[in-house]
Amino acid sequence: MTIRALLFLVATAFCFISCKPQPTSLMIDLVSDTSTLYSEGYRVDAKMHNVSHRDFDVYQYAAIRSSRPTFGWIVPDMGAGTMQTSYHIVVDDNRTDASSRRGKVWNSGEVQSASSVAVEYGGEDLQPSKLYYWSVRVETSHGRSAWSTVQVFRTADELQPYAVSYRPQVRERDLPVEVRRTDERTTFIDFGRASFASLELTLDSDVDGKTIYVAIGEDAKDGRINTKPHGTVRYYRYPLTLRKGRHTYPIIPEKDKRNTGPQAVLVPNYLDEIAPMRYCQIEEYEGEVKAEDIVRHTTIYPFDMGAAHFASDNATLNAVWDLCRYTIKATSALGIYIDGDRERIPYEADAIINQLSHYTTDREYAMGRRSSEYLLEHPTWPTEWILQALIIAWNDYMYTGDKRSIEANYDILKARTLQSLRRENGLISTTDDKVRSEEFRRSIRFDGLMRDIVDWPRCGDWPHGEDDHYHLTDYNTVVNAFHYRALVILQQMAELTNRTDEAASLRQECQALRKAFNELLFDDEKGVYRDGVDSDHVTLHSNLFPMALGLVAEENEDRVMDYIRSRGLVCSVYAAQFLMDAVYGAGDGDYGLHLLTKEDERSWYNMVRHGATMTYEAWDDKFKNNQDWNHAWGAAPANVIPRYVVGVQPLEPGFARMLISPQTSSLKSVKAVVPTIRGSVVVDIDSTAEKYDMRVTIPANTVAEVYLPLLADAEELLIDGVSAPLILTEDRRIECGEIGSGEHTFEVRWK
């Protein structure tokens, strides 16, 4: 063999080894991008391994707070139906050992397992304030991968066996999309979208001491900034004294007493105070202002706007999606889900919508978990929202596959079911002295008076209340619907944490509660649920919540849904999340699409029409006298569209199995990317009178149960170009079976 031939073989072998696909998107404790450093919120080029121990205080980074963290990665696609069969993780505390994959801190060896999310660390406890390096290699059904790129992370100064880790709040620099002179002494600036931010201006002056004014705000009117906006829509005006020459001036919003109080989440010390702003107006300034002279410093939790995508042939639906997805990014500024800028207080009802919408618009889970556990320590006053803690915790588990939060917080989650408030009739009530007892309040970690809310604002609080004139009684339908759902979830949590006897007891409690609920609250003659045991009044809420939360008997679903459809959208933007869950859960994609795309004043498009770039707290200013324009609880379509219209949801924790079951109704074209912890699901649909075409890409190491909507009389089903059995389900879907990873095509031809 010649030297040239030998070199060719060596090069070929090296290429084969080095070109092998490798695990990507590594996560530690659900946190990605642990190696990046920031200074005052801005990314810097400094490398973690080059920073001395004493200098870390000047940087922000994703400190890992668990001494026994979990690891996760995306399994590389090595061919159709790729499934992981084993993994090998190594952890070192120096770059030299890490580059050789020595695993001196921990070497898992080859572990026969399909787990690629929430893989628990198995070495000696990690030490605080220390750098660690890790990488992973996997064996799959199509061969062995290469080692992943080594990822570095640093532990926090204090560690617990399990603690929530998260990334720091960061900043982005924004330039205006429009700079316009409105008169000789006024310049109007539009950044295109509102964000939580501070401002920086670079201006010229030929003298010292000249005073100009800088206004910032969320609303514009007649081509200028609106100086008297509605409710809590923000407007501020500050004097600015110029110095001679060209200088840069920070415009930092003053702290608001209402949203920086004891219950509020505060801006971290390394960042400026922020306010929601889209517009800036410079007054009494005669000089020229260029776009590059006006910089907005936007604060966010790190968010990948490219992680998710949705486009359809319906322009209204696309506009609603864009509004809601951007809202999730923009309202992440405090690092914990808050209720908007007026209070900046976390509430469960905001968090449950924000959480689902964050999961479906970015592959980032740490902020959701941090918010969930914050609310376990800081619950809010509405009864139903206290019960929602279990739904939030279970959503976290289903999307992440990481059960540690449930294990660590099982006792408080159990108390949050409010079982202690159950009366002899099997239902719970908040009308006696038990809710005022110190023992009860201590059990749920709430030092206040818990009250039923149903929806917000209530009718009595504002002439245009959102609860459909719900009649509150001692035993309320909405409250007990949430109690039932919380109890069902607790039973699943008991099974998950090996509390076998307790799970069996809870299963019986759930059955008894469901029976009592339907016997006491369902009006069989009218085919609807009443507002309460002692009420004949019927509302949208007393029916949408039982439908959304799994209480409606199969034989009654049609009548309950008929009533729900008859009421329209007579609920708040918050309750609309559960209305959409009810409607799409019943398989009514037609009505769901109608609600998503309606354009009257009670619609998401109404916000778009008024120029909103973040969702409102209410459908319109007329429905709430103090509403703000930056409330993520109005952004339900950000999760409704991926979960129901596109149809991608987890069937097993961490997307070990997933559902792809689009409800596209009359849409002719849908193109979507839905992020998951195992990788992105890509869906491309074309629907005509002749056929329904769907092309999907399923990430490796999972399988999908795929269904197509039955929009007409089906004649033939083709899967990957091959004729398949035409199986129709009772809920008008076409069953395509379990499909492995890779690219697949599904085609239904109509008669």
Closest Cα partner for 67 from 564, 404, 361? 404
Give residue limits of the domains in the chain: 23-160, 170-300, 309-645, 653-750
Cβ atoms of 563 and 579 closer than 8 Å: no
Question: Residue 16: pLDDT above 70?
Answer: no
Distance from C-alpha of 651 to C-alpha of 613, rounded to nearest angstrom = 33
Distance from C-alpha of 736 to C-alpha of 751, rounded to nearest angstrom = 19
What's the pLDDT tens digit per position in 293-341?
999 999 999 999 999 999 999 999 999 999 999 999 999 999 999 999 9
Question: Residue 380: pLDDT above 70?
Answer: yes
Instruction: At 95, list the tokens.
Output: 């770059």
- For the domain spanning 170-300, the CATH number is 2.60.120.260
**Average of per-residue pLDDT across 51-71:** 95
Distance from C-alpha of 29 to C-alpha of 267, rounded to nearest angstrom = 23
**657-660 and 703-709: which strand pairing?**
parallel
Tell me the percentage of the chain whose pLDDT exceeds 90: 95
Question: Residue 13: pLDDT above 50?
Answer: no
Question: Residue 464: pLDDT above 80?
Answer: no
Cα dihedral: 458, 518, 353, 629 (round 10): -20
Distance from C-alpha of 707 to C-alpha of 697, rounded to nearest angstrom = 15
Residue 192: which pLDDT band, with cuts at 50, 70 and 90?
Answer: very high
Residue 640 phi/psi, 5-degree rounding, is -65, -40
Distance from C-alpha of 678 to C-alpha of 655, rounded to nearest angstrom = 7
pLDDT given for residue 12 in this prediction = 42
**Average of per-residue pLDDT across 550-555:** 97
Residue 6: which pLDDT band, with cuts at 50, 70 and 90?
Answer: low
Buried b / exposed e over 355-391, threshold 16 CB at 10 Å, is bbbbbbbbbbbbbbbbbbbbbbebbbebbbbbbbbbb
**Average of per-residue pLDDT across 132-136:** 98
Instruction: At 621, list the tokens.
Output: 């200013």
What's the burial of 78, exposed, middle or buried (CB within 10 Å: 0-12/13-18/19+)? Answer: buried
Residue 263 phi/psi, 5-degree rounding, is -90, -10
Domain 23-160: CATH superfamily is: Immunoglobulins (2.60.40.10)
**Average of per-residue pLDDT across 271-284:** 98
What's the pLDDT tens digit per position in 24-47?
999 999 999 999 999 999 999 999
Other beta carbons within 10 angstroms of residue 635's beta carbon come to 33
Helix (H) / strand (E) element for 670: namely strand 669-674
**Residue 368 forms beta bridges with which residues?**
none
- For the domain spanning 309-645, the CATH number is 1.50.10.10
Distance from C-alpha of 267 to C-alpha of 510, rounded to nearest angstrom = 42
Pick 14 or 121 by higher pLDDT: 121
Helix (H) / strand (E) element for 246: namely strand 245-251
User: Mapping DSSP to helix (H, G, I), strand (E, B) and coil, where does residue 311 land?
Assistant: strand
Question: Residue 460: pLDDT above 70?
Answer: no
What's the pLDDT tens digit per position in 564-622?
999 999 999 999 999 999 999 999 999 999 999 999 999 999 999 999 999 999 999 99
Pick 364 or 574 by higher pLDDT: 574
User: Mapping DSSP to helix (H, G, I), strand (E, B) and coil, where does residue 728 land?
Assistant: strand
Residue 30 φ/ψ region, left for φ over 0, alpha for ψ in the -120 to 50 degree band, beta for the rest = left
Residue 432: which pLDDT band, with cuts at 50, 70 and 90?
Answer: confident
pLDDT given for residue 457 in this prediction = 85
**Average of per-residue pLDDT across 149-168:** 97
pLDDT given for residue 676 in this prediction = 98
Q: Which amino acid is at 560?
A: V
pLDDT given for residue 546 in this prediction = 98
What's the pLDDT tens digit per position in 664-681?
999 999 999 999 999 999
Residue 8: which pLDDT band, with cuts at 50, 70 and 90?
Answer: very low
Other beta carbons within 10 angstroms of residue 257's beta carbon come to 8
Instruction: At 407, list the tokens.
Output: 């294990």
Distance from C-alpha of 394 to C-alpha of 266, rounded to nearest angstrom = 27
Residue 400 phi/psi, 5-degree rounding, is -105, -30
pLDDT averaged over every residue in the chain: 95
Question: Residue 15: pLDDT above 80?
Answer: no
Please, which residues have CB within 8 angstroms of residue 38's CB and are 6 or more apart in sequence? 44, 59, 60, 61, 168, 170
- Overall residue count recorded for the chain in this entry: 751
Question: Residue 463: pLDDT above 80?
Answer: no
pLDDT given for residue 5 in this prediction = 52
- Topology given in CATH for the domain delimited by 653-750: Maltose phosphorylase, domain 3 (2.60.420)
Residue 465: which pLDDT band, with cuts at 50, 70 and 90?
Answer: confident
